[in-house]
Structure 1
Amino acid sequence: MRETIRDSWQRSRRHGVRPDRHLPPIELREDLVSDLRREHPLARVWPMLCDTMRSVTSEAGNLIFASDADGRLLWMDGSNADLRRAERVNLVLGARWSEEAAGTSGVGTALALRRPFQVQGSEHYLSAVTAYTCTAAPIRDPTTGAPLGTIDLTHATKQSDALVLSLMTTVARLAEAELRTIALQQQARTHARYGERLSRRSGTHSALVTADGQVVHAAPQGWLPARLPAALEEGEIVLPTGQSMIVERLAPGGPFLLVAQEADADPALSLEALGRDRARLRVAGMTHDLGGRHSELLTVLIANPGGLSADELRREVYGDAGKAVTLRAELTRLRSVLGHRLASEPYRLTGQVAADFLDLDAALATGAPSALLDRYPGPLLPMSAAPGVVMLRTRLHERLRARLLAAGDVDSLLRWTNTRHGQADAGAIQSLRRLHG
């Protein structure tokens, strides 16, 4: 017995596999197999592998399988007769053929040793499969080197085994090369789509990073390793080098924009919306003149620091007739400006937030009338019909009016009635007449 086979048998025995009373467990139902296939990286290369091995699987007795990294069979190809014959030993979709579950086998031992491996006939630990020779090779992630699964050729033991191990090793390398090409193409598309966001950060340390930590582009070049060790989440992180970074999610599943947080950077988000049909936003050292809908969304979010559900935010901005899909589209576009500062579930703003209408509202209790008018260039987003904005605008306007009338300051009341927003205020005009006797 080969030493590698003997070692594998010993591992199989320790795992409790019974060679004469055991078949590999079928762990996955058909629907779960379909779900795993859909998300698995090897789904991108399986059609190519089938085409490559077509001349092999067309011969009677030959089957090919692809497993995941746990040894569960997710794809298989061969003649119907051979597939039915394989069912007797649970060589079927959803079955687990790792060493822990099936003992020594092509799939399980190749995964255990992390290299191509062939198990011939009686070298199998399970008596039920000694009629087969199984040759498997791991397929590795082209960026991390971690096994994604295996590609396995199973055939009758009586057939020739010459060159099969070399064939499967070559097929696995072909799959890895194809995965590397796909990854590079995806990185190129990511850079083309989001590279402009990176260019806005000229002069800072920044990077575009995929969801799995692959650095697509870094500026300046080389300040980050080619891959980050941990999955990214929005917000502030500290790299192993001690550098503090802000992470912004650019799309629901990634990629991410990383920007070095400067020690003297202003972390606040500030909004000017009084007397303006469209709000002006200052964030991360940049000024944005927002569109009407984004002005309304940001105003409502600022006024509700505890956050709003998607349905609540929809009603506040669009009214009862608004559609959730429209809201999500606008929030996605707004996120391109706000980045990680726009959180969800519930929707809310994170970090320091300032707004001119909040400052005025806070000053109404104690501020002098003339100082209050200095803070009030006009109503809050006067052209907006969003229910939440209308309520805020009316409340703030009425509170300021009541404060001026209660103070009885003649100069302030004159200023109020001489402005566009106070010129038809009969109550203020009547108070002026009383004060003048």
Structure 2
Amino acid sequence: MLRDPESYARLLERVHDAVLTGLPTPRSPRSVISESWQRSLAAQVDPDEGEAPLIVEQAELNDLRAEHPLAAVLPVLRETLVSIADDAEHMMIVTDADGLILWREGATGVLLSADRVTLTEGTRWSEEAIGTNAMGTSLATGCPVQIYSAEHLVRRYHTWTCAAAPVRDPDTGALVGSIDVSGPLRTVHPAMLALVTATAQLAEGRLRAQLAVRDEKTRRANMRHLTALRGRPGALLSAGGRVLATESCLLPSTVEVRRGGGTVTLPDGRIATVDPLDEGYLLRVATAGSAPRRKLTLEYLTDGAGSTTVDSRDIPFTLRHAELLTLLALHPRGLSAEQLALQLYGEAGNPVTVRAEIHRLRTQLGTGVVQTRPYRLAADIDADFLRVQTAIRQANAHAATRSFHGPLLADSEAPAILQERESLTVQVRQLALNSADPDTLWSFWETSCGADDLEVLDALCAALSRTDPRLAVARAHRTRLL
């Protein structure tokens, strides 16, 4: 690639044109590029006319910079990247978590070239706004990435190359922004991605050091509140819910808290009260023993809408939330956002989308149901598809058909749900056929999965006695099918 940058750029141009026109490609784009193009096109980014939108004017930008966490590490970034970027005719760019360019610094000539393609402060460079680019793609994937020439979706950036790495908040793990080095195509260097990645890690290290200092200040300022518990179980928490100090209790490293405090259910079922302090929270464990865990009931094997209940309370739910709950129920040890994205969307899945959906789901279900890191269910689960799975393992045809009232989430097209739906249906069908039991066969035939299955109907007609009134119904339906 780097031995002859111009020839490689021409090859990428042909790949870009072929993919967008649906013609055979001289080679396949990298998977990270192909997936990014799919996301960008789905967001209706125009490859021919796309331009980064100006979101923030200078006056507002100054306020955003002052409040942003990366402002504190900007001197480190300048020391590490700007001089190198100057020498290489590149520029350093720092964005927020939404791809908004907060700072850019570098050689004057490069900055002027960037102005001509709106690569400027105050513009947004998320994939949704301007398509595949190092800043937006690193934020979308959570991984460092280099985008070269025609790997950019929008044509006006094909004369540029860029490398970017995301930066995460050490307190919450959430993305706070990205660090990027961009420049003209002719100046690309193989070490640029490694340099940007190392700089992002250095920035995170500085943020962690600053966090440790803040934590110590918070502990010193609030230790009197913990001492005032006089041995009763409790803890000091950071503003994000991290446990800073404990008294007479064992706790996870992080406790889920709502702004303003209130009552929370700990993962082991204990109830605790969270009181806001000037900075952070005081947690007081209300009971020394374990309180009853919340109960989550999922009825998703049906031809209808199904139901989700928490402690016998019906919860309005979307198909996506039902898919998430199903996958988490099927994986009791938990799944990461990346694993959930793959199972929900396939290779085009975006962990950022999954995290947003999980946040909405947890808000709807309340505390004590969905835990994080990894995402998992902490409630007692009663799910019809889990009951069917157990019956299948026990080869109990009657129990399987008693809970099987239809396909699993019939409207879902998520790859993992499709696979589980087909597996459950096939296995329950075979159990019913093997049983030769009229009640079991009738139960399966009454579902949409068995209604028009001739083999099931033949077995049902053979199993029913001549005096059974259901025989006439089954035979009439069989005749209609034939």
How would you bin the TM-score normalised by the shorter chain? 0.5 to 0.7
Q: 1:10: how far off?
A: 2.2
Aligned to 2:183: 155
Tell me whether 1:261 sits opposite 2:286 in the alignment: yes
1:232, 1:247 within 8 Å by CA — same for their partners in 2? no
Please list every run of 5 or more consecutive structure 2 residues that lacks an aligned counterpart in the other structure.
1-28, 289-482
Q: How do 1:97-246 and structure 2 match up within 5 A?
A: 97-220=125-248, 223-246=250-273
Q: How do 1:381-396 and structure 2 match up within 5 A?
A: none
Aligned to 1:248: 275
Aligned to 2:49: 21
SS at match of 1:64: strand
SS at match of 1:158: helix
Q: How do 1:34-433 and structure 2 match up within 5 A?
A: 34-59=62-87, 61-220=89-248, 223-251=250-278, 254-261=279-286
1:138-182 deviation per Cα after TM superposition (whole angstroms, max 9, x unaligned) = 111223322211100001111132111111111111111111111
When residues 116 and 262 of structure 1 are mapped into structure 2, their CA distance, relative to the original with a 3 A threshold, is: closer
Q: 1:44: how far off?
A: 1.5
Partner Cα separation in structure 1 for residue 197 and residue 287 of structure 2: 49
SS at match of 1:143: coil
SS at match of 2:187: coil
SS at match of 1:115: coil
Q: 1:78: how far off?
A: 1.2
SS at match of 2:274: strand
Q: 1:242: how far off?
A: 3.7
Aligned to 2:451: none
1:212, 1:231 within 8 Å by CA — same for their partners in 2? no
* Number of positions where the alignment pairs a residue of Structure 1 with one of Structure 2: 260
2:126, 2:139 within 8 Å by CA — same for their partners in 1? yes
1:60, 1:82 within 8 Å by CA — same for their partners in 2? no
TM-score between the two structures when normalised by the length of structure 1: 0.56
Amino acid at match of 1:256: Y
TM-score between the two structures when normalised by the length of structure 2: 0.51
Decide which moves more: 136-145 or 78-87. Answer: 78-87
Partner Cα separation in structure 1 for residue 137 and residue 248 of structure 2: 44
Alignment RMSD, CA only?
1.9
Partner Cα separation in structure 2 for residue 184 and residue 202 of structure 1: 26
Partner Cα separation in structure 2 for residue 189 and residue 52 of structure 1: 29
Partner Cα separation in structure 2 for residue 36 and residue 126 of structure 1: 28
Please say which structure displays the higher CA radius of gyration.
Answer: 1
1:213, 1:232 within 8 Å by CA — same for their partners in 2? no
Partner Cα separation in structure 2 for residue 5 and residue 66 of structure 1: 22
Partner Cα separation in structure 2 for residue 23 and residue 197 of structure 1: 54
Partner Cα separation in structure 1 for residue 255 and residue 94 of structure 2: 29
Partner Cα separation in structure 2 for residue 235 and residue 164 of structure 1: 48
Amino acid at match of 1:218: T
1:15, 1:100 within 8 Å by CA — same for their partners in 2? yes
Partner Cα separation in structure 2 for residue 261 and residue 225 of structure 1: 16
Partner Cα separation in structure 1 for residue 150 and residue 255 of structure 2: 45
Q: 1:4: how far off?
A: 2.2
Q: 1:195: how far off?
A: 1.1
Identity, % of aligned positions: 37
When residues 96 and 244 of structure 1 are mapped into structure 2, their CA distance, relative to the original with a 3 A threshold, is: same
Q: 1:84: how far off?
A: 2.5
Aligned to 1:11: 39
